[in-house]
Homo-oligomer: A and B are copies of this chain.
């Protein structure tokens, strides 16, 4: 076993010797070698996404393409792409390719659902929330509770806060529904982040359906 290992190492050394020539050449042409290669690629990809050169849903070049273009190994490319995937910029589809995420940030793993009501002290809402809490707990989710005191300003503030936190969904009793909604942009943002939301105004059955699935 040890003998075989040594033989392997020797052959490897011979091969390495030959490849050294290219390595040196690359170092001469290449960058300053200050920051790691994967880091450079990562920033390049990130920049292209942030500056909308690559838009949401676009397929980015394959790992081998990057490897070839940047003269780095596939593993190094994988490291860059892997980190960007973890950060939410990219997502991979097995056998298809790697794509730019719809909207960054939200990772859909917080297991938190925000429940926003106007008031808590009413006779009905404690029970409602208790019902939601039970269903959510049974499915491993938690409630994040907020109230608006039927103020649209408070609702807007509340939603902004929720957008900055990590929630997987929103159940909201909108305030002052008789007047038109003044902060549709916040709901648009929810859409963009891919956070589902349901309105509740007494439709318990419908709500429950949206909850459990």
Contacts and interface: CB of A to CB of B under 8 A. Distances in A.
A130 interface: yes
A1 B166 CA distance: 50
A133 interface: yes
Contacts of A84: none
A6 to B, nearest CB: 10
Contacts of A156: none
A4 B143 CA distance: 63
Nearest to A16: B8
Interface SS majority for chain A = helix
A179 interface: no
A120 B126 contact: yes
A29 interface: no
A15 interface: yes
A213 interface: no
14 contacts: A4-B18, A5-B15, A10-B11, A11-B11, A12-B12, A115-B145, A119-B130, A121-B127, A126-B126, A129-B145, A133-B147, A137-B147, A140-B161, A145-B145
Given A111-B161, A143-B146, 18 more contacts: A7-B11, A7-B14, A7-B15, A10-B11, A110-B165, A111-B165, A112-B144, A119-B130, A120-B127, A120-B130, A126-B126, A133-B146, A133-B147, A137-B158, A140-B161, A142-B145, A143-B144, A143-B145
